[in-house]
Structure 1
Amino acid sequence: MRPSSFNNEFSRFIIIGLLNTLNYYVIYTAFLWSGLPYMLSHLGGFVLAFIISYFLNCHFVYRVRPAWSSFLKFPLTQVVNMGMQTLLLFVFVGIFSWNEIIAPLPVLIVTVPVTYTITRWVLKDEEV
């Protein structure tokens, strides 16, 4: 892979990640306004945004065809992401006593490239 293709793909990954966050919030808010309790709104928003995320990542980030095999593996990307974020946040705040407001920023700096690599492996079925 050429460095420029990595940069373009990674940039698209960041943009789609931001769009996915917006998707979740819009869906969550719509469910909330429709009268659903906040937890059901959250779960519904998460699931729908996650499905949208899969297709956006396939089509716009990695430019691959969606497939059941990659769709079923796609949740692994978020399990790893959430696990790493939780562990690093605990280490930075709970052990190193970093500020709770600042600590998520370096966590993202570490986890976003890792999540990108795992998602690329899942969707493109390539060695990383």
Structure 2
Amino acid sequence: MNATTKTQLGQIIRFGLVGAVNTGTYFALYLLLHLWLPYFAAYTIAFLLAMVGSFFMNTYFTYRTRPTWKKFLLFPLTNVTNFVVQGAGLYALVTWAGMDSRYASLVAAVVAIPFTFLISRKILVPGGRAKATEPEPEPAGSSSTL
């Protein structure tokens, strides 16, 4: 196994771990918020809060790169597909399949996770490179790190 393959495999494994932690965080927030809010409002707020956590876990742990304002502002694009797939899945499972809204959210979240990997890697890894084992150097005079 060459170094690039090892790096990519490591990123996939770390992405999976971050996805599991993020999904657990999201689901706990969703259940808590769902006590007071309708299911879709709880979903939206929990999703947004978990996305911020996901950004920092993916920059530091998955891709081992520095968070910047530019990446932070672009990162929600990685979740647009996730949001649409998860939201549509949640709606379909609750409305059409009659699934309990507390559990339908988790099922929809698990199905949607893989869609964000390639997009997040493209945004968070400098130049879209597969190899990001060292934190990228900060340009001279730049203060864009979060």
Same fold (TM over 0.5): yes
**Map of 1:69 onto structure 2:** 70
Tell whether the 8 Å contact from 1:54 to 1:74 is kept in structure 2 after alignment.
yes
Render the CA deviation track for 1:27-53: whole Å, top value 9, x for unaligned.
Answer: 1111223x2332322111011011111
Q: CA deviation at 1:81?
A: 4.5
**Map of 2:7 onto structure 1:** 5
Structure with more contact order per residue of length (Cα contacts < 8 Å, sep ≥ 6) = 2
Q: In the aligned structure 1, how far is the partner of 2:119 from the partner of 2:15?
A: 12
Pairing 1:24-35 to 2, within 5 Å after superposition: 24-33=26-35, 35=36
How many percent identity over aligned positions? 33
Tell whether the 8 Å contact from 2:27 to 2:46 is kept in structure 1 after alignment.
yes
CA RMSD in angstroms comes to 2.7
Pairing 1:1-128 to 2, within 5 Å after superposition: 2-33=4-35, 35-81=36-82, 112=114, 115-127=116-128
> Could you say what secondary structure the match of 1:74 adopts?
helix
Q: CA deviation at 1:74?
A: 0.8
> Could you say what secondary structure the match of 2:128 adopts?
coil
Structure 1 unmatched runs, 5+: 90-103
**Map of 2:134 onto structure 1:** none
Structure 2 unmatched runs, 5+: 90-106, 130-146
**Structure that is richer in helix per residue:** 1
Q: In the aligned structure 2, how far is the partner of 1:36 from the partner of 1:115?
A: 27
- TM-score, with length taken from structure 2: 0.61
Alignment-mate amino acid for residue 116 of structure 1:
F
- TM-score, with length taken from structure 1: 0.68
